Structure 1
Amino acid sequence: MNHARRTTATLTAALTAGTLVLAGCASPAEPGAAEGSVTLDYWLWDANQLPAYQRCADAFEEENPDLQVRISQYGYDDYWRKLTAAFVAGAGPDVFTDHLTQYPGFAQKGLLRDLNTLDATADVDYGEFQEGLPDLWVGQDGGQYGMPKDFDTVALFYDTNVIEEAGLGPEDLEGLDWDPQDGGSFEKLLAHLTVDENGVRGDEEGFDPDNVAVYGLASNGAGGTAGQTTWSWLAGATGWKFTDKDVWGTEYHFDDPRVQDSLEWLFGLVEKGYMAPFEEVGTEPNPQQALGSGRAAISANGSWMLGTYANLEGVDLGIASLPSGPVGHPVSMYNGLADSISAQSEDPEEAARWVEFLGSDDCQRIVGEAGVVFPARPAGTEAAVEAFAERGLDVSVFTDLVEDGNTLYFPVTDSFGSIEAIVQPIMDEIYIGDRDVSTLTEVNDRINGLLR
């Protein structure tokens, strides 16, 4: 649900450069479909969710014999490239999984249908979704450009075997506190879990930070504009917010000392030896592999990665809450995907029937029962919690954040792709150590200039 960094800028450029054809993108009926039926093309990128959505399509077709759903799944990077090309050619899908970094540009270019204007989706009660998710998909014109499908938050993954080797237990990972000045009990934990090549721990005399065998914290890279799993949960715990408004902010806050201090603390872990340097992880970090290989003791990551971490061979998985920050509690980014209808669809009303079903309790329960993500409706969320519990995973640390309101919204603004193109390389330089965090003040003026 993240992965926005590398594709956003190129997608924006392609859509700006290309001629946007609003010709229809209807597809011929599927072989064996009822005569006169309409086939709707639906695109998604997560292979792990494909089986569940196929079951949703089967249930939908049973209730709607005049409609067929053809699902196409592409890898994340290919997904956005193909979608861009399809939009330019006027041959995109009727319905597709959308991301908060992408939809503002799509909507402004007239590529999305306002769900409020279509019969099947006009009367949806958005109050029945998890609080706040529908608001993220309301455009500046008041149109609803996405039907919420799921949500995610962030927590700490760890291997209980590694924790026990350090003389600790799961209880030692609960109730942690953090602040950007000295790192609190969270930094003390990371120090103890870090081990150099000679077996000396990071909180012991003689520790060598230049030759580390096990890092206390797995690196998620520099994080870019959103820092979803990297640094947003740290900065958010200080009371900082990305922009002046939760949705459609007009002013970023990278000049705030709270975010700058949070970044300085995080990337300062490299010099202390508690987190891998940029040179080791590069622009494509793999924190789950670091945990699975024993290269790192703790990995902060999103709930959509639950299945990946649970399947790590030889890992006895544990999940802990993020540390509480200066605000007195943990804070996680709250992100959510949605299903959008292309303005190029020749069958928008039929597409709206499919989207309405995608956002229904029936489909969201099916998705929840697959135990991959947390669907956007409470019924689907509960089904997912039960599915994870059957696999021995207590996922309450993810859902408690939402129930308690301890969340930070993903930044929804104009020009996100252009802003990311500016911020990402600068964050990389800060991680490397070639740039001081204070230069973000100047960068903040530059990116805010794009919003004026």
Structure 2
Amino acid sequence: MTRKTFTRARRSRLLSATAVLAVGALALSGCGQREGDSEASSTIDYWLWDTQQLPAYQQCADLFEQQHPEYNVNITQTGWDDYWQRLTAGFLAGTGPDVFINHPSRYPQYADLEVLLPLDEQDATANQQASDYQDGLMELWTGSDGHRYGSPKDWDSIALFYNSDYLADGGVSPEELGSLEWNPEDGGSFEAAIAHLTVDDNGVRGDEPGFDKDNVAVYGLGLSDPGGGNTGQGQWGSFANGAGWEVTDEPFWGTEYNYDDPALHETLDWYFGLSDKGYMPKYGQFNQDDGTLSQLMSGSVAVVSDGSWMVPAYSSSENFEVGTARMPTGPDGTAPSTMSGVADSISADADNPEAAAEFVAFMGSQECQSVVAEAGVVFPARTDSVERTEEIWTEQGFDTSAFTDPVEEGDAFFLPITSHGADVAALTIPAFQEIWADRPPSAEVLDRINPAINDLFIADKEAEDADSGN
């Protein structure tokens, strides 16, 4: 079966939505070019971005080839930023993958552009059962049209990672760190602990007289990722949710964002205010590309919040032991954690959709997910495989309950899935950077952009009404 071609309308929409990548698309248009129909029909091109997960998925691909000798799986790994540019370029040029690892923040736009194949319409993937996977993952990857566009691969949540030496020096036990509370008025016991773990160049702690906030040797709490992105996933998102903030009016496919919620404003003013007090780095103080991992590993900070997918990276520490603790309890009495998970998607222009679907079904099977679990790099999506990863991480000294308890107790919340994700990110990411860098009141910045975001969905509704004649 040969590669299908884009309809003129679909290519036009993709070009319009990704005009910023046009130059990159031209430069990459030759990447991954197939050599012929015969080879293309038997080769499944599979793309991913994570080097840590590559060995496990290569092992799964090898197992698939053993069971399906008529197919060959060709895996291409590309770093996160280049990955999405190359993927979009591949869609434009017709040289993209058959199957690729997709992200919740990206797939709604791809689904709208009709470049994804509905998995519920493919024989091999139509009968995948939601009960086999972590609660909510199947729903996460179900589009607004009711079709499923991803086969879950893993799930993640957020917790605190800490330098055990710094905790011991400060007299803060791991149990204490994992049972703190916060509020937007004075920061509660969490801010008190972060202040105590902060040490200036003269050895004075953040809660002691004479602390010099302008010359800090060790910050209590690290921060990077340009202000946490548009949802604060690994940064302030869990705090805001614990204060009662919901990103959108519905968990999935909402049509109204709540960046004008006072609960969010109070959270952000307190959170970024920690940098004013010297307990957290100021904007631009560290290379943002390095992330909180480098801040903790270099000894520059005592505690960071980060995702479970980063456990293997933190476990590589040679100078001190890294531990994990649960996020603090918020004003609403819960200790929430943002939750997400990636999935395998099939390109609408896959050379051989049947083969691609068979491969995707295998990657989501218990056989492959057991391989992923044994690698100990992420929590597998399947519930029958998670326990092995927990065992491996526990053996490495990581308290996995910091990640799993919020999920088991119903305190975890999924990142929102909506249309216009790229537009929302384009408006909000600079706004959160501004709040961190220049420290204006959050309401002053976010109340200005929230109507512009929600106008996108109002325009959609008006267009639908016009099409239906209402």
TM-score category by the smaller chain? over 0.9
CA distance in 2 between partners of 1:174 and 1:95 (Å): 40
User: 1:127 deviation in Å?
Assistant: 2.2
State the TM-score, normalized to the length of structure 1: 0.92
Q: Is the 8 A contact 2:235 2:305 kept in 1?
A: yes
User: 1:114 deviation in Å?
Assistant: 0.4
Aligned-partner residue type, residue 179 of structure 1 = N
Match of 2:135 among 111, 131, 138: 131
Percent identity between matched residues is 46
CA distance in 1 between partners of 2:136 and 2:442 (Å): 31
CA displacement, residues 71-110 of structure 1 (integer Å, 9 cap, x when unaligned): 1111111111111111000111100000111111111111
Aligned to 2:277: 272
Counterpart mapping for 1:187-226 below 5 A: 187-220=191-224, 221-226=226-231
What's the C-alpha RMSD, in Å, of the aligned pairs? 2.4
Decide whether aligned partners of structure 1 residues 402 and 416 sit closer, same or farther in structure 2, where only a CA change above 3 A counts: same
Q: Is the 8 A contact 1:14 1:84 kept in 2?
A: no
Which 10-residue stretch deviates more, 311-320 or 90-99?
A: 311-320
Aligned to 1:317: 322
DSSP-derived class of the 1:324 partner:
coil
Residue 453 of structure 2 corresponds to residue 447 of structure 1: yes
Pairs aligned (count): 437
DSSP-derived class of the 2:451 partner:
helix
Counterpart mapping for 1:292-331 below 5 A: 292-331=297-336
CA displacement, residues 258-291 of structure 1 (integer Å, 9 cap, x when unaligned): 1111100111001111001003035435211111
User: 1:434 deviation in Å?
Assistant: 4.8
CA distance in 1 between partners of 2:152 and 2:168 (Å): 40
CA distance in 2 between partners of 1:15 and 1:429 (Å): 23
CA displacement, residues 291-321 of structure 1 (integer Å, 9 cap, x when unaligned): 1121101011000110111112202111111
Q: Is the 8 A contact 2:272 2:439 kept in 1?
A: no
Aligned to 1:384: 389
State the TM-score, normalized to the length of structure 2: 0.89
Decide whether aligned partners of structure 1 residues 11 and 287 sit closer, same or farther in structure 2, where only a CA change above 3 A counts: farther
Q: Is the 8 A contact 1:229 1:300 kept in 2?
A: yes
Match of 2:150 among 111, 134, 146: 146
Decide whether aligned partners of structure 1 residues 36 and 184 sit closer, same or farther in structure 2, where only a CA change above 3 A counts: closer
User: 1:400 deviation in Å?
Assistant: 1.6
Counterpart mapping for 1:289-368 below 5 A: 289-368=294-373
Aligned-partner residue type, residue 352 of structure 1 = A
Q: Is the 8 A contact 2:41 2:351 kept in 1?
A: no
CA displacement, residues 409-435 of structure 1 (integer Å, 9 cap, x when unaligned): 112111111111111111111101253
User: 1:172 deviation in Å?
Assistant: 2.2
Q: Is the 8 A contact 1:241 1:408 kept in 2?
A: no
Aligned to 1:3: none
Q: Is the 8 A contact 1:226 1:410 kept in 2?
A: yes
Residue 435 of structure 2 corresponds to residue 430 of structure 1: yes
CA distance in 1 between partners of 2:399 and 2:279 (Å): 27
Which sections of structure 2, spanning at least 5 residues, go unmatched? Answer: 1-13, 26-31, 459-470
CA distance in 1 between partners of 2:15 and 2:42 (Å): 33
Match of 1:400 among 402, 405, 408: 405
Counterpart mapping for 1:155-234 below 5 A: 155-220=159-224, 221-234=226-239
Aligned to 1:416: 421
Which sections of structure 1, spanning at least 5 residues, go unmatched? Answer: 1-8, 20-24
CA distance in 1 between partners of 2:452 and 2:401 (Å): 40
DSSP-derived class of the 1:340 partner:
strand
Q: Is the 8 A contact 1:152 1:334 kept in 2?
A: yes
Decide whether aligned partners of structure 1 residues 11 and 260 sit closer, same or farther in structure 2, where only a CA change above 3 A counts: farther
